[in-house]
Chain A
Amino acid sequence: MKELVIADKKFSSRLFVGTGKFSSSEMMAKAVAASGSELVTVALKRVELDNPQDDMLEHLHLPGVNLLPNTSGVRNAKEAVFAAQMAREALGTNWIKLEVHPDPRYLLPDPIETLKAAEELVKEGFIVMPYINADPVLCKKLEDVGTACVMPLGAPIGSNRGLKTRDLLRIIIEQSNVPVVVDAGIGAPSHAAEAMEMGADAVLINTAIAVAKDPVNMAVAFKMAVEAGRMAFEAQLAPQNLSASATSPLNPFLEGIKDLQL
């Protein structure tokens, strides 16, 4: 399979994973390792002064795993830029998953604030990976301001409902000159495979792995699905038809046998 390149970095795995909602840091680390992912999201929080010893990051010191901090929790472009700058200082990376979703019910991203923040962050030298609605026009505008990829949603974060935006995702994939990472809403390996078969460059999965009864095996299942979907895309799917097309010969080889006649 072809390697994925985002900015100047090569990825052999097209599965990105999030670290939220796991029952423990140990389980998170096992699932991340099992997924084979090379890009793993983390969020930001205030240091808890009454509980300053938080070893979450120690569990992510895994070979080949790069951290991708996100800006979750910000409400506008100004906060997003500040959060990205803080993330760069804390984690020593200029990669940022830009997400601005002020509405807590559906967590839908604010396109205007996201675009404003993306433009500023690109100017400041960040590798910007914006989480957005599946909006083909917005994707092109983000590409124009220099984001390293686009990350349209399949369905709201954590909803596990699959590719509800599939028709728009197809347009985004067709038009995009930067990698398309389908983020949010993918709830089953079959959804991930569908995204990859459509030509998405990668998918980002969190909830579907983290809250599965067996997160480690679910991570493996997603790894296999993403590989299968990508391989199918590269192999090029056979066309669909309304009518049947025989795969076996229809020659009348039993014709003429009297005892078989009705």
Chain B
Amino acid sequence: MEVFLNGAKITTQAATLAELLEEQHVPTEGIAVAIGIRIIRRAEWTTTPIADQAEITLIRATQGG
């Protein structure tokens, strides 16, 4: 299946959000995840399924004023 991760199209075998993050080697500390505009709480990552063509956004803190 294909999903969009921060705008980039990727092919994944992951069934859940937690599996996708692990598969893509994303460090999970200090990040937030949304599918579309639905923010997925950390506790729900393991139970949230990934759908084909899902638009997933991962954000974290960076330097700023």
A→B interface (CB under 8 Å)? 18-22, 25, 28, 41-47, 49, 52-54, 56-57, 67, 69-70, 72, 82, 85-91, 157-158, 204, 206-207
Q: Is the interface of A mostly helix, strand, loop or mixed?
A: mixed
CA–CA, A88 and B32, complex, Å = 8
| Interface pair A49/B6, CB less than 8 Å apart | yes
Q: Which one of B8, B25, B58, B65 lies within 8 Å of A21 (CB-CB)?
A: B65
CA–CA, A91 and B32, complex, Å = 8
Contact with A along B1-27 (1 / 0, CB 8 A): 000011110000000000000001111
B→A interface (CB under 8 Å)? 5-8, 24-27, 30-34, 37, 39, 41-42, 57-65
Q: Which one of A28, A44, A82, A206 lies within 8 Å of B61 (CB-CB)?
A: A44
| Interface pair A45/B59, CB less than 8 Å apart | yes
| Interface pair A42/B61, CB less than 8 Å apart | yes
List 23 interface pairs A-B (beta carbons < 8 Å), by A numbering.
A19-B65, A42-B61, A43-B63, A43-B64, A44-B59, A44-B61, A45-B60, A45-B61, A49-B5, A49-B8, A52-B25, A53-B27, A56-B61, A57-B61, A70-B65, A86-B39, A88-B32, A90-B30, A90-B31, A90-B32, A90-B61, A158-B65, A206-B65
| Interface pair A22/B26, CB less than 8 Å apart | no
| Interface pair B64/A54, CB less than 8 Å apart | no
| Interface pair A56/B42, CB less than 8 Å apart | no
| Interface pair A42/B41, CB less than 8 Å apart | no
